[in-house]
Amino acid sequence: MKMISRILLLLILSSCLCAATFVVNVTQSSYQAEENHSITLEWTFTTKTQGSWRELFIICSLVAPHKELVLYRVREGVEIPDSQDEHFSGRVQIDKDVLREGRIRLHVSRLRTEDSGLYLCDVKTEDRSDKEKCQLNVSKIISVVPGQSVSLPCRLPNIKPAVVVQWTRPDLEPEYVLLFRDEQPDPENQHPSFRKRVELQDRRMKDGDVSLLLSNVTTSDSGKYECRVFQRESSGRKTVKLTSDQIRIVFLDVAPPPENVEGRKEDGSRNRHVGLIIGAVLIIVAVLIAALIIGWCLYLTKQKMNTSPDLQKELNSQ
């Protein structure tokens, strides 16, 4: 009887161990990419050579604030392309050759800033399942000319309200472009060059909009801007903690119009030496034109003087 009990216990433990060995891993926990570029998201999962692909279920999706946007789905070992959300239509490809090796490789092309967010792959096979997530941040490139105002877009990743909004420039010291908390801007530690020039586009953050409005831009404003939001998250009945995610990167390029690029300094104003050179060239051109006019007049006068004696003889003969 004891022997039977031990055998049953070993079977139970071995089955639990097998179930525990099924794991889904993500190759990279965080991805950075630029708008209109491409990215490859990759997960791996445990496979069994004797397992049946008819019992394989996969669903990979972007976790959006109000719903999940499906990129890729497999049901009973068969791909279900119709389940793909129209947001990703024609932009996602799968490496089918590596799927049987336990690798999910999704190539997302023509990236949009709206593609930023949390990506989750849930894999089920037989009676076991596991899932793993990764973060994708798609940066936007915005080009403006000096003196304009510009909006740097950023939106909350979920419907929870923001407690603190941070806009930073990592290359500056201090790095804070705008710190917004307690429903108002906090100028402490703000970089001096942005004082009285930045604000949230909507202080009420309607629909999760935490975009930054920057006025009177100069070429020194060019650079990488990062948007980070802190939100409250309940942990248990009474414990409340703040969680933060970098949810948007924006590259700002401030440059004069193409026809005015030459001869401008970094602040967008015209270089004095270049102005003097252009002025000197204009003076030289004017002198040359005047010389040509005077030369032409002298030539005409000389021609008249040469022809006047002949004309006088002709008149006397008459």
pLDDT tens-digit series, residues 283-318: 888 778 878 888 777 777 776 666 555 545 554 555
pLDDT tens-digit series, residues 241-279: 565 655 788 999 999 886 444 444 433 444 445 455 666
Domains defined along the chain, listed by start: 22-138 (2.60.40.10), 145-258 (2.60.40.10)
Asked whether the beta carbons of 295 and 248 are under 8 A apart, the reply is: no
Q: Would strands 92-94 and 30-34 be described as parallel, antiparallel, or unpaired?
A: unpaired
Amino acid at 245: D
Mean pLDDT of the chain: 80
pLDDT tens-digit series, residues 104-126: 999 999 999 889 889 999 999 87
Burial of 121 (0-12, 13-18, 19+ CB in 10 A): buried
DSSP letter assigned to residue 303: H
pLDDT of residue 274: 46
pLDDT of residue 245: 59
3-state secondary structure of 31: strand
Examine the pLDDT at 197 and tell me if it is beyond 90. yes
Asked whether the beta carbons of 246 and 227 are under 8 A apart, the reply is: yes
- Cβ neighbours for 153, distance < 8 A, ≥ 6 positions apart: 113, 140, 211, 248, 250
Examine the pLDDT at 200 and tell me if it is beyond 50. yes
**Dihedral through CA 75, CA 135, CA 152, CA 254, nearest 10?**
-110
pLDDT tens-digit series, residues 178-193: 999 888 899 888 999 9
pLDDT tens-digit series, residues 12-62: 444 444 445 779 999 999 898 989 999 999 999 987 655 566 788 999 999
Q: Which of 134, 153, 141, 166 is nearest to 246 (CA)?
A: 166
pLDDT of residue 105: 95
Q: Taking the chain, what is the end-to-end CA distance rounded to the nearest angstrom?
A: 159
